[in-house]
Structure 1
Amino acid sequence: MGADITAAVGRAHAAGCLKSATVGAVAGHVAGHYAVIGAVGGCIVGHHYAKEKEKNGWQPRANALR
C-alpha cells in the first residue's frame, strides 16, 4: 500500500514538471534555440507550483461551472 501512495505522489509531481517543461521548451526554442534550458526551468517552476498546491490544499473556485 505504501508503494502505491508513493507512486501516486511521484506522478503528480511529474505531471506538473512535464507540462511546465513542455511550455518552457517551446518558449526557449522560440526565444533563441534554448529548448533544453527552457525545459529545465519549466520543470523547476512546475514542481514548485505542484508543491505549493499540495501544501495549501486544493480549493475549488467560487465561480466554478454552475
Structure 2
Amino acid sequence: MRYLIAAALLFAVPATSAQAGCITGAVVGGVAGHLVGHGKVGAAAGCAVGHHNAKKKDEQAQPAK
C-alpha cells in the first residue's frame, strides 16, 4: 500500500516552470520515498519527473512556429 501511495505522489507533481518542477518534484518525491525507506532516491527521481513534466507543459504552452 505504501508503494502505491508513493507512486501516486510522485506522478502528481504540479509545476509551472522547469526549475519549480524540479523543486516541487523533489519535495513530493522525497516524501514518497521516505514512505518506502528511500527518501534521497525519491527526491532525485521526483526532481527528474517534475522537471520533465514542467518542460513538456512549457513546450505545449508555446505556439507553434
Alignment TM class, shorter chain as reference = 0.5 to 0.7
Letter in 2 for 1:54: D
The RMSD of aligned alpha carbons is 1.3
Task: Give how far 1:14 is off.
Answer: 1.4
% identical equivalent positions: 48
Could you tell me whether the CA contact under 8 Å between 2:18 and 2:52 is conserved in 1? no
Residue 48 of structure 1 aligns to a residue whose secondary structure is: helix
TM-score of the superposition, structure 1-length normalised?
0.64
| Structure 1 moving runs of 4+ over 4 Å | none
**Unpaired segments of 5 or more residues in structure 2?**
1-16
**Unpaired segments of 5 or more residues in structure 1?**
1-11, 59-66
Aligned length: 46
Structure number with larger C-alpha Rg: 1
- For 1:20 and 1:50, the matched residues in 2 are separated by 10
Q: Which residue does 1:61 correspond to in 2? A: none
